[in-house]
Structure 1
Amino acid sequence: MKALKQLQIVAVVAVLMWMLATSTFLPSRNPKKLDCDSRCFCYKTWIKFRHSYEHIVEMRCTHLNLTEDHLPLPPKLSSNMSTSLYLENGTIPYLSNTSLSVYSPYKVVILSLKNNTIEYVAKDTFGNLMHLKTLDLSENIIHEGTLKEAFYGIALTPLKKLNISSMNLQNVSDDFFKNLKRIANFNLIFRDNTHMFPMTALMRLNHMISLDFGRNNLTLIHLYNASFTSLRYLNLDNNHFYDFPDFCFKESNSSRFPNLEILKIQWNEMRYIHRFHYNCLTSLTHFYLNGNLFQELRSNQFSMLPNIFKITLSYVGCAMRIIERAVFNNSALKQIYFRNNHIWFRNAGINLRVFEGCSSLELLNLDYNIVQITREDGFNTLLGHLTQLRTLIMGGNSLPFIPRVITERLTNIESLALYSNDIKDLTPLKNMTNLKKLFMGSNQITTLDESSFQHFRRNLTKINLSNNPFSCTCNILWFIEWMREESNIFSFKTNPNFTSLYMCLRPGDPIRHRLLDLEMSDITCLLGMDVKVTTLTLSILLIVFLVTGAVMYRYRWHIRYFIYMVRYSQRQEVDTREYEYDAFLAYSAPDRHWVIKTLLPVLEGQEDLKLCVHDRDFEVGKLIVDNIVDAIEGSRKIVIVLSNEFAQSEWCQFELNLIQRHVLENGQRLLVVVMLEEIDTRHVTKAMRAMLQTTTYLMWGEEEYARKAFFNRMRMLLRKATEHGGERRLSV
C-alpha cells in the first residue's frame, strides 16, 4: 500500500509540473503551417492536454502596433478548435472592454500579451473569452489598482493560470486578489515584482494550487496565521531569504501548507536549515534547496518527511563546514542530487555515513565533489548500504579507480556515470550485469578489454567513452568495430560530430587519429611470419607443459616415493638401543577403526612389527600420563595419526605436546606423521603448525597406487634394525 501511494504521488507531481510549464499544453513536433494574417505565424498541431490529445490552432504575432493597426484574426478553421494566441513584444498601450471582442467567437484557451507596454486594461476586457484557461500579462506596466479591477473580467472566464510577473507591482493591497478568490485550482505566477508583499492578499486565493513567487527580492516572509490548504506547488527561488521560512504552526505542530507537494526555495542566502520549520510538511514529495549558503547539515535533517521522493542540495558546498551522519535518513527517499558542492569528503567535519538510512534510494548524483578516497573501506562506508541504487552519478570526483563497492555490492545499477575522473581500468565493470547506460568520458583510459563488457554489452542502450587518450593498437580493434556496428548507442546517428571525440595516438606519433577513420591496414593487426613462429613455439611449449603436468599428476605417488627413497638413503644414522616396541601409535578415538582395521594388519601382520596401541597395551590401573610417557620412552619410533578429530581433541593435543617435548630432548628418536585427511585451518594449533612445517608427513590416499606408496614408505620408516645396528633416520 505504501508503494502504491508513493506511485500515486509521483504521478500527481508529474502532472502538476507539466501544467506549470511555459504553456498548459505540450506542442507537437510536427506542426502544420496555416495561412493567416501576414504579421503572424499560424500552425495546426496535435496537443496533449491532460490525458488526451486534441487539435489546436496556434497563432504567434510579434511587434504589433495597435496605435496604427487592428488585432490579427486566427485562421477561419479555428472557430471550432481550441486556439492559443501569442501577441507579444509589441505596442498595445490600451485595452478597452471591446478590444478583445474580436476573439469572442473563437475558442481561445491561451492568451499571451507579454511585453506590450500595456498601461490600461478595462474592467471587462477579458469577460468575453469564455474558454480562457491561461493568461500572460507579464512585462507590462499596468498600475496595481487598474489590474485589480481587470481581475473582475478575468474571474468570469474558466481561468486556471495567470502570469503577472515583471510588472513592478510594488504597492499591492490586501484586497488585490479579491475578484479571483472564487477561482478553483488556480495557478499564480508572480515573479520579479516586489521586495515586500502582504501575505493577507494571497490568503484570499483559498483555492490556489500553485504559486510561483520567485525573484522578488524578499528578505523574509511573514506567514503568521496563513494557511493554504489547497496549495501543492510553491516556488520561492531567487529571493534573499537569510533564514529558512517557518512553514509550521509551533503550537500544534501542524502545517500552514498541509497538501504542499513541491517546495522550491533555491538560490537564496540561507545559512541554516532548521528541520522544525518544515518537518510538518507531511505531503511534501519534492524539496529543492540548491544554491543556498548552508554551513552545516545535521543528522536526520529530512527524516520527518514521510512522503519525500526527491531532494536537491546542489551548489551549496562553498561554506559547508559540517555534514553529520545520516543527514538524508529516510526510507521513502528515492532521489538525491548533491552535486557541484566541491565538498572534500576527507575533511574532519564531513561524515562518510551521510547517506545512511536511505534504504530505498534509487538515484544519487554526486557530480563534482572531491571524493578522493584512496581506500576501499572509505567507499564502502559512503556507498555500501545503497543496494537499491539504479542510477549513480559521480563525475568530476577525482576518482583514481572504480571503487569495488560499486561493482560488488551495488549490482542493481542500470545507469553509471563516472566521467571526468582519473580512471584507467574498466575491468571491474565485468560484474555489472544490469548495466544499461555507461558514461566514462574524459578519463585516462588507453585500452579496452573486450571481456570487461561481455556481461552487459547486449543490454547497453547508451555509452559514452569520448575524450579518453586511447592508444592506436590492436587491443581496441574490437571496440572500433563495435562503434561501427552499433553507432546508435554511441549517439553517432543523432550527433555525427560526436565521432571526432574518439581519438587515439600511435606510439611515437604526436598526431591524433579518429578511431572510426582507422582501417585494418593502418592498425597493422595482420599476423606476420615472426608472430606466427612465436605463436607456434608458445603453443608447443604449452602442450608439452600440459602433458608433463598430466603425467606427473597421474604418477604423483610414485614420484613422491622415489624422492623419498633418495632422501632416505642419504639421511641415515645408527641407533643401537633396545626397545620394547617398534613404534608407539598416537591417534584419536574416532580414528581407532582405521588403525585397527587398516594399519595394524599390515604393520603387525605382514611386517611382524610390535606396536604400542593404548587401547590394548596400556597398563590397567596406571595413570594414563605415565602410560603415555613409558610408551614413548619404550618405543623405537613414534607414529602420530593426524585428522580433524585429533586436532579438536584436547587430550590428543596434550599427548602431542609430550611427544614434541620428548623429540626435542632426544634428537636421535624418529617421528613419523600420518595425515589421514586435510586439516581445517581453524583446527590447526601452534604446536601442530610447527610440527607440519618441520616434519615431512605421509599422506593417506584411497586410490590403490596411493595406498601402496603409503605402506612402502611406512615399511621403510619402521623396519627393524639389521645386524649392523638399527637403521635410523632423522625425521620425515
Structure 2
Amino acid sequence: MFKYLSGANLTVSLRYNLFNTLNSSVFSPICNLKKLQVTYNEIVNVDVIGLRTTEYLDLSNNNIYAIPNFCKTSDESFVPHLKYLSLAYNAIRTINKESFKCLNSLKDLIMDGNRFRRLDNNIFALLHNLRKLAMGVNQQLKQIAPFAFNSSSLQVLHLYSNHFQYSESKFKKKRFNPRTIFQTIPNLTELDLSQNYMNDYDIVQELFSSTRNIQKLTLISSFISAIPEEILRSMPNIKSLNLQGNEIELWDKSLFENLPSMRELYLGGNNIHVINETSFPASLLKSLEVLELSGNQYRCTCEIKWFLDTIRMTNLSTKMQKKWPSRYTCYYPEHLRFTRLADYFPTIAECNSLNIVYLIIITGCSSVLILLFCVIMTFKCQINFKNALYLFRLKQRIKHGYYRLESSDDFEYDAFVVYCDADRLWVHGVLLKQLEHCNLNICVHLRDFDAGDTIINNIGNYMAKSWKIIVVLSNNFAKSEWCQWEIDLVQERRRRQGKEVLILIMYQQIDSKHMITPLKTLLDTTPYLSYKEGFGEYLFWNAVIKDINKPLNIPPTSIF
C-alpha cells in the first residue's frame, strides 16, 4: 500500500475512520515515517512492528483496553525512536511497571480519559527520559500508591479532572499519601491538579511540602477555600499560580511575600470581596505580568477605593488581560449589583473618618441587640437547646461506634451482572457498552473472574466487591438451573441491604410455564425495568444509571 513512499519522510494521519485493528507492518516500506496519527477510530488491537522510525504516535479516542507490546525482545524495542505516545480516551483499565518497558526514548506520555482504578508504585520508573505525563479525566481513579510517580526525569505532571479526593479520610483509608506522592519527582516544574477535591487545609499543605522546584501550579475549581501559608514558601521558583474557580475569600498578608519569580497570578471566579493595600506586596504588583481577578463578588464600598485608585493611576489594568473592565462588577450593595467597578467612584467625603465612627456605633448597638436576643431565646428555647446537645452527643457516639456504607467508593465495582450465557450478546454488546461509556466499572464473569478459582467462589467474591447487583431476566434465565442458584444469592444480598441493592432488567418477558416461585417472589417484591429497543430506550438507560448511583438505605451497623 505504501511501497511508493519508501524514500519519503512522512507524517501519516488516518483520523475519523472505522479501523478496529492497527497492523503497523503495512507501514514497513516507509523508511522515515516520523509521525502517525490514528485517532477517532474503533481500534481495539494494536501492533507496532512496522514503526521503527516513528517518533510521534497518537492512538487517542479509540477502544484500546490494554497497553500495546513495545518489546521485540526483552531488551530490544519495536519503536526505539518513539518520543511522544498518546493513548488518551481509550478503555485502558490497568497499567504496571512492565507496561512501558522498551520505551527508552519516550519523553511525552498522554493517558488522559481512561478507566484506571488505581496507580501502583514505580509504574513509570523504566521511562528514564520521561518529561511529561498526563493522567487527567480518569474519574474512576480511587487509589494512588505512595510512589506511583517515582521518576527523576519527570518535569510536567497533569492530574486534572480526576475528581480525586485529597482528604484526611481518604488518607486514613490509604487511598494516597500526601507526604510521598510528589516526593520522588525531584525535577517537577509544572503540576496541574485542577478539578479535584482539595478542601482539606492540612492535607493540601502537606501535599506540596516537597515540590520545591515547581514553576507552574494549576489548581482550578478544586474547592479550595483557604490558601495554606506554607504552600508558596516551599516553592521559591514559582512563576505561575492559577487558583481560578475556587472559594477563596481572604489570605494572610504575608502569603505573597518574597516571590521574585512570580509573573502570573490567577484568582478569578472566587469569593473575594475586597482588594486593598495589604492584599499584595508592592514588589509583586510591579513584577507581575498577569493579574487575573475577574468574576469575584466585590463590595462597592469605601474598602475598595484603594484598588480602584491604583487601577486608575497605574498600569495595573494592562495586567488584567482583556477582562477589565467588563468582568469586574459590584456584588454588594444590592442597588449597585452588576455595576462595573470602572463606573464606581467613591469620594473622599463618603470615606472619611466620621463614617467609620458611625459604623463603629452601629456595629456596637447591633451587637448589644443580638446579645439581648440570644439571652431571651436561651430562656425561651431551653428544650430545643437540650435536644440539640443530645443530638450532638449521639452523633459523637455514632462516630466512634458505628459506620455507614457511604458510597460506591467502598467497592471495587459499581455493579455485578447476573445473566444467562444465552443472553451474552446483548449483555456484552449493548448493556456493558452503555454503562461503561458512563464511566461505570462493571463486573461480568466472562471477563473479570479469577482464573483457577471455582465459579462458586468467584461469584461470591465478586458480588461482595460490587456496589449493586444487576439481574438480566429472560426465558433463558428462568430455564437455567445455574441462574436459579444465583437468584438465591441475590435474595440473600437483598435481605441484608434492601431492595435498592438490586436492579432488575426484564430483557425478555418470561413465560408463565418458566416462572419459578423464587423468581416470582423477587419480581413481586422488587421493581424492575423492561428493555425495549427503539422509542423510550433513552429513558430506560437513564433509569438504569440513576439506579446504580442511588444510595443504599442501609441501617447503621455496629463495628463492635
Query: What is the TM-score of this pair, normalised by structure 2?
Result: 0.59
Deviations 1:233-255 (A, max 9, x none): 00111110011111123x42322
Structure 2 partner of 1:373: 200
Alignment counterpart, residue 515 of structure 1, candidates 313, 336, 341: 341
Q: Do the aligned partners of 1:430 and 1:452 also contact (CA within 8 Å) in 2? A: no
Query: Is the counterpart of residue 335 in structure 1 residue 162 in structure 2?
Result: no
Deviations 1:167-195 (A, max 9, x none): xxxxxxxxx11111222x22111222322
Q: Do the aligned partners of 2:330 and 2:336 also contact (CA within 8 Å) in 1? A: no
Query: Is the counterpart of residue 289 in structure 1 residue 111 in structure 2?
Result: yes
Percent of residue pairs identical = 27
Structure 2 partner of 1:456: 284
Which structure has more relative contact order (CA 8 Å, sep 6+)? It is 2
Q: Give 1:199 shift.
A: 2.5
Structure 1 partner of 2:407: none
Structure 1 partner of 2:13: 189
Structure 2 partner of 1:308: 130
Structure 1 partner of 2:256: 429
Deviations 1:141-161 (A, max 9, x none): xxxxxxxxxxxxxxxxxxxxx
Q: Do the aligned partners of 1:472 and 1:523 also contact (CA within 8 Å) in 2? A: no
Q: Do the aligned partners of 1:411 and 1:434 also contact (CA within 8 Å) in 2? A: yes
Q: Give 1:513 shift.
A: 2.5
1:11-90 to 2 correspondences below 5 Å: none
Q: Give 1:279 shift.
A: 2.9
C-alpha separation in 1, matches of 2:30 and 2:137:
34
Q: Do the aligned partners of 1:389 and 1:413 also contact (CA within 8 Å) in 2? A: yes
Residue 234 of structure 1 aligns with an amino acid whose one-letter code is: L
Q: Give 1:451 shift.
A: 2.8
Q: Do the aligned partners of 2:201 and 2:227 also contact (CA within 8 Å) in 1? A: no
C-alpha separation in 1, matches of 2:343 and 2:298:
14
Residue 326 of structure 1 aligns with an amino acid whose one-letter code is: F
Structure 1 partner of 2:405: none
Residue 371 of structure 1 aligns with an amino acid whose one-letter code is: M
Q: Give 1:433 shift.
A: 3.5
Deviations 1:619-650 (A, max 9, x none): xxxxxxxxxxxxxxxxxxxxxxxxxxxxxxxx
Q: Do the aligned partners of 1:379 and 1:405 also contact (CA within 8 Å) in 2? A: no
Query: Is the counterpart of residue 499 in structure 1 residue 325 in structure 2?
Result: yes
C-alpha separation in 2, matches of 1:305 and 1:518:
56
Query: Is the counterpart of residue 382 in structure 1 residue 207 in structure 2?
Result: yes
Q: Secondary structure at the match of 1:221?
A: strand
1:553-702 to 2 correspondences below 5 Å: none
After superposition, the Cα gap between the structure-2 partners of 1:522 and 1:331, relative to the gap in structure 1 and judged at 3 Å, is same
Q: Give 1:365 shift.
A: 0.6
C-alpha separation in 2, matches of 1:529 and 1:197:
75
After superposition, the Cα gap between the structure-2 partners of 1:260 and 1:222, relative to the gap in structure 1 and judged at 3 Å, is closer
Q: Give 1:368 shift.
A: 0.5
Structure 1 partner of 2:46: 221
Q: Secondary structure at the match of 1:488?
A: helix
Deviations 1:199-255 (A, max 9, x none): 3212222321111111221111134xx253321100111110011111123x42322
After superposition, the Cα gap between the structure-2 partners of 1:413 and 1:197, relative to the gap in structure 1 and judged at 3 Å, is closer
Structure 1 partner of 2:482: none
C-alpha separation in 2, matches of 1:448 and 1:279:
52
Query: Is the counterpart of residue 412 in structure 1 residue 237 in structure 2?
Result: yes
C-alpha separation in 1, matches of 2:354 and 2:256:
34
C-alpha separation in 2, matches of 1:529 and 1:385:
48
Q: Give 1:256 shift.
A: 1.2
Q: Secondary structure at the match of 2:342?
A: helix
Structure 1 partner of 2:293: 465
Q: Give 1:354 shift.
A: 2.1
Q: Secondary structure at the match of 1:302?
A: coil
Q: Do the aligned partners of 1:327 and 1:356 also contact (CA within 8 Å) in 2? A: no
Q: Secondary structure at the match of 1:516?
A: helix
- Number of aligned residue pairs: give it: 347
C-alpha separation in 2, matches of 1:319 and 1:383:
24
Deviations 1:447-469 (A, max 9, x none): 22313312311111011111111
Deviations 1:102-129 (A, max 9, x none): xxxxxxxxxxxxxxxxxxxxxxxxxxxx
Alignment counterpart, residue 489 of structure 1, candidates 305, 311, 319: 319
Q: Do the aligned partners of 1:206 and 1:228 also contact (CA within 8 Å) in 2? A: no
After superposition, the Cα gap between the structure-2 partners of 1:189 and 1:480, relative to the gap in structure 1 and judged at 3 Å, is same
Q: Do the aligned partners of 1:483 and 1:490 also contact (CA within 8 Å) in 2? A: no
Q: Secondary structure at the match of 2:46?
A: coil
Q: Secondary structure at the match of 1:430?
A: coil
Query: Is the counterpart of residue 440 in structure 1 residue 267 in structure 2?
Result: yes
After superposition, the Cα gap between the structure-2 partners of 1:530 and 1:211, relative to the gap in structure 1 and judged at 3 Å, is closer
Q: Do the aligned partners of 1:248 and 1:277 also contact (CA within 8 Å) in 2? A: no
C-alpha separation in 1, matches of 2:71 and 2:356:
81
Structure 2 partner of 1:206: 31
Query: Is the counterpart of residue 480 in structure 1 residue 308 in structure 2?
Result: yes
C-alpha separation in 2, matches of 1:231 and 1:407:
41
Query: Is the counterpart of residue 240 in structure 1 residue 63 in structure 2?
Result: yes
Residue 135 of structure 2 aligns with an amino acid whose one-letter code is: L
Q: Give 1:515 shift.
A: 1.0
Residue 187 of structure 1 aligns with an amino acid whose one-letter code is: T
C-alpha separation in 1, matches of 2:198 and 2:353:
45
Residue 466 of structure 1 aligns with an amino acid whose one-letter code is: S
Q: Which runs of 5+ in 1 are unaligned?
A: 1-175, 535-732
Structure 2 partner of 1:262: 84
C-alpha separation in 1, matches of 2:349 and 2:97:
61
Query: What is the TM-score of this pair, normalised by structure 1?
Result: 0.45
After superposition, the Cα gap between the structure-2 partners of 1:258 and 1:197, relative to the gap in structure 1 and judged at 3 Å, is closer
Structure 1 partner of 2:553: none
Q: Give 1:529 shift.
A: 9.3
After superposition, the Cα gap between the structure-2 partners of 1:530 and 1:394, relative to the gap in structure 1 and judged at 3 Å, is closer
C-alpha separation in 1, matches of 2:349 and 2:328:
15
Q: Secondary structure at the match of 1:416?
A: strand
C-alpha separation in 1, matches of 2:144 and 2:356:
62
C-alpha separation in 1, matches of 2:339 and 2:191:
36
Deviations 1:538-573 (A, max 9, x none): xxxxxxxxxxxxxxxxxxxxxxxxxxxxxxxxxxxx
Structure 1 partner of 2:372: none
Q: Give 1:522 shift.
A: 8.8
Q: Do the aligned partners of 1:248 and 1:276 also contact (CA within 8 Å) in 2? A: no
Residue 399 of structure 1 aligns with an amino acid whose one-letter code is: I
Structure 2 partner of 1:583: none
Structure 2 partner of 1:525: 351
C-alpha separation in 2, matches of 1:511 and 1:236:
49
Q: Give 1:521 shift.
A: 2.8
1:352-371 to 2 correspondences below 5 Å: 352=178, 353-371=180-198
Residue 156 of structure 2 aligns with an amino acid whose one-letter code is: Q
After superposition, the Cα gap between the structure-2 partners of 1:474 and 1:219, relative to the gap in structure 1 and judged at 3 Å, is same
Deviates more, 1:521-530 or 1:417-426: 521-530
Q: Give 1:478 shift.
A: 1.9
